[in-house]
DNA sequence: GAGATGATTTGATCTGGGTCAAATCGTGAG
DNA sequence: CTCACGATTTGACCCAGATCAAATCATCTC
């Protein structure tokens, strides 16, 4: 199911940004410091859409007509080669996606699908490009987001090339924990098969890797992860101070 | 041998940009469309340095004080984890490197070393950031370069996750050929061990992969590659129309 | 609640590619 | 030209992780 077909069927989920929704979206990092007038003109030209889960938003190769900003929900960016595909990035609320394609007016290199019901702000790419040139704060925010995305890819590629799968999993779990303020117990968001794909391994192997981490201070119950021995985990994962 | 130590020893290779060198550098894509006055002020504050081969320019974690622009030569960006390291990008003349770190004023995520004698323009990062805000053309060029770098990383990560090593090699060779205008015969730049690292494999395996490609239309003699049967090669490599 | 569909786990096996070692090739120093 | 050192190749072997198959487990539908 492609977005264009979807749009044709259910236009009711698409509407201009309502006045009462603007403050919430204006607080997103990419817009928070910019000129209010320009921000309003962006908002007036943008659409906020609600999408059901498991909907493919766009495919590789399409022209990037809109910058996408995830307001609510969860989105997966993925690539494919022949009959295989792999998850590249999980986009969390408050972040834009496919910024690089929208900026350069080039085709998407990754496809996107919703993982859960999601609300997405669609900003026309030409308007974004114009406004970026007029507003220093938006410019800076965009550049930073792009640079951040780049660094995330460098991290992922290094991870893939230099670590083996169980180490990648261990570091991923430590990173999740840190993002939650160092929580020792947290839930995986999304299915395990998704995590496997993100980490570049098969679901079978992920399952075995979780098993192996039991000896290094991890306990798993369904989607609930508990770090029972953080020292042991860090000893095994050897997180890089700059990356992880 | 670190750059700081190197700088201390051989200051004679470092000098302000000479007037006669400016036109050559002004033609680089990142500077070509910007305001001349601002460009001159950047040049006046920048250093052009010559480095011998195999010199580590900076390590992971250092603060990005300068944007680096490779004028002549060849530079490798690499990352490491524990005692292993891997080549991430080969920078060719005319391109900047570690743009993301310089823009965001964050530590380098990759280290850099020269592969051959190189001349590098060092632009102070704060000045770059300031000038970007004043000059739309420089801004656009920077953004595009950053976006391009990002897309290259997406490509590399997809390659790593979805293809096996011989396929990666095959696609790399086809891409090299295409960049040379479709030449059927060309030279590898740099050692094979470097290519192996870039493709995420061992030198031994690269050697075997070259052997395997003999059956798919490739002939190798030292660093010289000949594509003897492009159809067979493309059939084996299955290049992606958007990526490769 | 029963059945069906899909996710996860577990087990057995296979294989791409890494490791180790030795031979060979190339190249720069003298 | 010769030597020495490093790069590349080749061969033997090993291992992480993929694949295939079957068993559980979860969830959703009716």
pLDDT digits (tens, 9 = 90+) for B42-88: 999 999 999 999 999 999 999 999 999 999 999 999 999 999 999 99
For residue A232, give the nearest of A220, A214, A244 by alpha carbon.
A214
CA atoms within 13 A on the CB side of B53: 6
Residue B1 has pLDDT above 60, yes or no: no
Q: Does B150 touch chain A (CB under 8 A)?
A: yes
A87 CA to chain B: closest CA distance, Å? 9
Question: Do B143 and B129 form a contact (C-beta atoms < 8 A)?
Answer: no
Instruction: pLDDT tens for chain A, 244 residues: list them.
Output: 344 444 444 434 566 788 888 999 999 999 999 999 999 999 999 999 999 999 999 999 999 999 999 999 999 999 999 999 999 999 999 999 999 999 999 999 999 999 999 999 999 999 999 999 899 999 999 999 999 999 999 999 999 999 999 999 999 999 999 999 999 999 999 999 999 999 999 999 999 999 999 999 999 999 999 999 999 999 999 999 888 8
CB distance A84–B162 less than 8 Å? Answer: yes
Mutation choice for A interface testing from B60, B86, B147 by most A CBs within 10 A? B147
What is this structure's pTM?
A: 0.93
Instruction: Find the CB nearest A79 among B85, B147, B158.
Output: B158
Distance measured from the CA of protein residue A198 to the C1' of nucleotide D26, in angstroms? 23
Q: Which is more confidently placed, B234 or B8?
A: B234
Q: Residue A68: beta bridge partners?
A: A97, A122
Residue B2 has pLDDT above 50, yes or no: no
Q: For residue range B113-143, what is the model confidence (pLDDT) as tens digits?
A: 999 999 999 999 999 999 998 999 999 999 9
Determine if residue A234 is left, alpha or beta; phi over 0 gives left, psi from -120 to 50 gives alpha, anything else beta: alpha
Mutation choice for B interface testing from A34, A100, A131, A196 by most B CBs within 10 A? A100
Q: For residue range B138-196, what is the model confidence (pLDDT) as tens digits?
A: 999 999 999 999 999 999 999 999 999 999 999 999 999 999 999 999 999 999 999 99
B130 CA to chain A: closest CA distance, Å? 11
């Amino acid at each position: 199911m492609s977005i264009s077909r979807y749009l044709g069927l259910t236009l009711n989920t698409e509407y201009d940004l309502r006045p009462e929704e603007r403050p919430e979206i204006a607080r997103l990092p990419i817009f928070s410091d910019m000129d209010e007038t320009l921000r309003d003109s962006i908002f007036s030209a943008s659409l906020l859409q609600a999408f059901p889960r498991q909907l493919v938003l766009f495919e590789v190769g399409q022209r990037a007509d809109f910058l996408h900003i995830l307001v609510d929900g969860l989105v997966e960016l993925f690539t494919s080669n022949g009959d295989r595909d792999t998850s590249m990035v999980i986009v969390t609320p408050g972040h834009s996606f496919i910024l690089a394609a929208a900026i350069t007016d080039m085709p998407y290199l990754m496809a996107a699908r919703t993982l859960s019901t999601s609300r997405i702000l669609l900003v026309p790419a030409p308007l974004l490009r114009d406004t970026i040139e007029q507003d220093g704060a938006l410019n800076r925010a965009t550049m930073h987001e792009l640079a951040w995305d780049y660094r995330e890819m460098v991290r992922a590629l290094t991870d893939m090339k230099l670590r083996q799968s169980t180490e990648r999993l261990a570091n991923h779990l430590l990173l999740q924990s840190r993002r939650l303020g160092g929580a020792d117990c947290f839930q995986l968001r999304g299915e395990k098969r998704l995590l496997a794909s993100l980490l570049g391994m098969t679901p079978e192997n992920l399952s075995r890797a979780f098993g192996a981490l039991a000896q290094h201070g991890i306990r798993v119950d369904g989607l609930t992860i508990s770090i029972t021995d953080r020292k042991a985990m860090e000893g095994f994962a050897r997180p890089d101070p700059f990356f992880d």
